[in-house]
Structure 1
Amino acid sequence: MIETRLLPTDELLRSLVDEVVEIRVRENAVLQKIAELDRRGAAVELGYKNLPQVLRHAVRWDLTTAKKWVANAGLLGSEITPTGSELAPVLPVTADAVAEGALSVEHVAVVAEVMKALPAEAEGSVVGFAREHEPSAVRAFGKELAYRLYQDDPEPREPEPAPQVNQHVMQWKNGMLEIKALLDTVTGAKYQALLDPLAKPRPETADDGPDLRPRSEREGDALAELVDLMLRADQLPEHGGEPVTLTVTMRYDDLAKQVGHATLDNGERIPAEQVRQLACSAGIIPLLLGAKSRPMDIGRKTRTFTAGIRRTLVARDRGCAFPGCGRPPRQCDGHHIRHWSDGGDTSVDNAVLLCRHHHTLIHQSEWDVTMEHGIPTFYAPPLARRATQAPEKSSPHRGLIAPPVLVGRRRSRAVKA
C-alpha cells in the first residue's frame, strides 16, 4: 500500500473520491439485503416487532438510523408480486444512481422527501442535480422545482388557510422584560430586516478584541438599540448602504392583472393582492421584472455598489449565488466579477451577491465566476475537476432549474485586487 503522505495532492484527493464511491456501492448492497429481509418478514420470523428493531440489535444502530436505512431500502428495492412478477422500485432513477455509487444514503432520503411534492417524471431532473450537489442543495432545488411546476395552478379553495394573526406577549421577570412574539410573513420580514444590521458582530479592535457575544445576546442588544433608534425617530439603521427597506419583486404583467405571487427579499412569497398595499408603505421598494424575468438595471458606474444596484442583485440572486449556499441577501456583499482594478465597472451585469465566506473564497482560491447569459456561473478549481475526472461544468445559478451546462476552456485568470 502506498504511503498517503507521499502522494501528490490531486492523486490523494482522487483516491479519496474513489474510496467514497466504493463505500456507496457497498451501502447499496446493504440496502438490497435490508430490502430482502423486509420482503421475507424477517422481523416476525426472528421474534421482533419490526425490522428496525432487528437491525438495532444486530448492527448496533440507533433506532433512528435503522429506520432510515429500512425506509431507503424500501424505496430502492424492487417488489415481487404473488404471481412472481417483479415491480420496479418506487424511485427507479435514484436506485440506478445509488447502484453506481453516485449518491449517498443521505441523498436518497432527501430525494424521497422532495419527490413527495413532485410528479414521477421529475425524478430524473432531481437525481441529475443530486449527482452534482450535496443533499441540502437538493432539498432547496426540489422546493424551487415544485413551486415552478405548480405556480400557475389555481389556488386551492378548500380548506381555507387560517389567517395570520400577529401575537405579542410581554412579562416582567426579576427586573427584566420577557418578550414573545409571533408575526405574520410580511411583518416578520420587516422586523428581521430592521434587526439584522444591528446584530452583526462588532468589528475586532486592538482594545476589545473580537466580538465574543453569542447570537442570542447580539440580537438582544440589537433590539435594545432598535428601541433607542425608534425613540429618536429621525435616525434609522442602514442595511446594504441604505435606510432599512423591504424589496417586493414580481412581474409587471402579474402586478397589473393581480395574479401570481410576489417575492420578499428574504425569499418568502406573498399573494399579489397584498403588493399594492405594500407599495404604498414607507420603506417598501417595489422592483418590477422586465423581459425574461430579468431585473431592470437601475444602477450607475461607481466603485461602490449603489442601493439601486444592490436591490437589483437581490432580486436576481436572492442571496449568495454560490452553488448550494443558502445565505440570504442581508448576509451578502456585492462582488465585482471583473475586478475594479482590472477595468471592471460597477453594474448589475458585472456583479454577483456572495456571502462573506464565499466572497473570501473567490478572492483567495482558484474558484472563478463569470457572467453567462445574464447568470452568474461558477467554475471549480482545476485540482477538484481533475480529482473527479469530470468535464468542466458550471453549476447552475440557484434561481434556475436546469442541469449543469457544459462549458469550454476557462478564461485566463487575472491577479485579483
Structure 2
Amino acid sequence: MSEPDPCFLSTDELLSSVVSEVVEIRVREHAVLRKLAELDRRGAAEELGYKDLPQVLRHAVRWDLKTARQWLANAHALSHEITPTGSRLEPDLPVTAAAVAEGTLSTDHISAVAEVMKKLPAEAEGPVVEFAQAHEPSAVRSFGKELAYRLYQDDPEPRDTEPAPPTNQHVMRWKGECLEIWAKLDKITGAKYEALLDPLAKPRPETLEEGPDLRTRSEREGDALAELVDLMLRADQLPEHGGEPVSLTLTMRYEDLVSQAGQAMLDNRERIPAAEARQLACNAGIIPLVLGERSQPMDIGRKARTFPAAIRRVLVARDQGCAFPGCERPPKHCDAHHVRFWSNGGETSVDNAVLLCRNHHRLIHHSEWEIRMVQGLPRFYPPGWLDPDRAARRNVLHGFEGTQPSANRTDRTGTLTPAWVLPQPRPHPALV
C-alpha cells in the first residue's frame, strides 16, 4: 500500500505520522549503534588500514569526525562488553539502552544523558531517562544539573586544590580580511613579549611633515607586532618546516606580478591583490621558483630518500597543501610522500611525490587507498568497500589546483605558474 499524500491528511494525522516515523528512525539508529560498537570491538579500523573507526566512518558515511566520534561514544555507552574470558558485561547506561531500543530517545538524548550521568550516581539514571523521554536534550542537561545540586547540596565544600602551573596558549582565527590573535602567556614569556613589543610600539616623534602620532595604543601595538613579524622573517636563524627555514610563499602568474593585475595566493590559501604582492616582494627580496627552471634539482633518483628543499618548494606550489580529497591542511602540516614507495624502487622526484598531512600519509601506507600520477598530477583511488568502481578523486579545496612542475607546463591561458619564496637574499630582476 502506497504512502498517503500528506496534502490529504489532517493536522493530527500528519503529526501522528511524523512521531511514528521518528520512533522507527530511532529504532534503526539503535541498530546502527550496536553495529558500530561491534565494528570497533573487532578492530575494523586497523583491519582496513585506518587510524580509528571515526576515520573509517568519515569516508564510509561522510560524517564529520566530530559526529562520528559522538556516535561511537554513544555506541560504547549502550553496548555490552565482552571480557577476554567471554563474560558479558552490562552497558554503562543500561536504562538508556533499553529506552533507545524502544525508539523513545534520540542520539542527542543519549549524549545528554551520558553527560549528566558523569556527575550522578548510577541509581539516578532511571529518573534522568524518564525525564528525557518527555523533554528535549537541552532540558535533560538542566535537569541533571539541578538533580546533582539537590543530591550534593549538603556535602562539605571541597578543599581548594593546588593551582595548576600556567600554560602558554595562542589562538589564531581568520575573520574576513583580518587574522585575529588571542594569547595567554606565563609571566616570564609575557615579560619577554612586552620587552620585544614596547620599543616598537612607542609613539612616533612629532614632525612638521606628519604631525603628532594619532594612533591609539592598540593600533601602535598592532603595528609593532607586524614589524616584529618582519624582523623575524629577516632573522638569520628561524625554525624549520620540511627541512628549510620558515618562509612565506606566494603563488601567481609572473605577468600578473609585473603588471600588478590579478591576485596572489599565500601559503595559507588567503588571496591578496597583485599590487600588494609586488610591494611585499620588493620589501623582503625574492628568488623566483619558476617550476622546473633555473636548474632546480627536480629529480635526484635513488641516491637520497628524503626530499630536498628545492623539490618540496615545487610540491608546495603544485599541491598547495595536503592533496588528499577533502583535506584542508596547509603545506606546513604536510610531508612529502613517495607515490611509488622508495622501498619498492620509487625515485625521489617531483613526478613521484605528493604532499600529505600526517593523518593521510599514515592512511596511504596502511590502507587500500592508492595514488597514481595522471599527467603529472596526483589522483586518489578509494578502496573497493568505499567505491566499487574505484573512481579517481582529487582535492578541489586548494586554490591554484593542479600546477604541473615542469618548464613546459602551462595553465589554461598558456602562462607558466611560478611561485616566489620569501625571504631570500636577492630580489628578482623584474622587480628592481
TM-score higher than 0.5 here? no
TM-score normalized with structure 2 length: 0.37
Larger Rg: 2
TM-score normalized with structure 1 length: 0.39
Q: Which has the higher contact order (CA 8 A, sep 6+)?
A: 2
